[in-house]
Amino acid sequence: MKKKLFLPIVVIAMVVLFASNVHARLSRLFPPPPSNSKLGELTAINYPKIEINGDTLQLGAGGQIRGTNNLIILPALLTEFGPILYWIGPTGDVQRIWLLTPEEAAQAEEEGKYETE
């Protein structure tokens, strides 16, 4: 009897894990509009300095860069540049950067929720 229950339980567990993984990839959490979030163009990085819209800014301690797949990218391994959403923390340093797909960038500009420079 126990062997008959094992396979269905494993299959159900795998389906649940797969579904949660797909959901994590599809949903991207961006900061709410009233925060210090801005749209920009990431053009260069020389950690901890980053260039956004031609201005040199500093990536703060513990700052995160998230790729279009919503995974964290280490600054030294960053090879993608282009449209981004970035958040300036209370210290004036960049705390979060989200690399945007062209569709996300167009949608963010269309909605007008974030500042642009």
Q: What domains can be seen in the chain, in order of their start residue?
A: 37-116 (2.40.50)
pLDDT band at 7 (very low <50, low <70, confident <90, very high): confident
Separation CA 74–CA 67 (nearest Å): 10
pLDDT band at 21 (very low <50, low <70, confident <90, very high): low
E strand spans, 11-81: 37-46, 49-52, 55-66
Per-residue pLDDT tens over the stretch 38-90: 899 999 888 889 999 999 999 998 899 999 888 999 988 988 899 999 999 88
CA 21 to chain centre: 16
Sign of torsion, CA 40 44 49 55?
A: negative
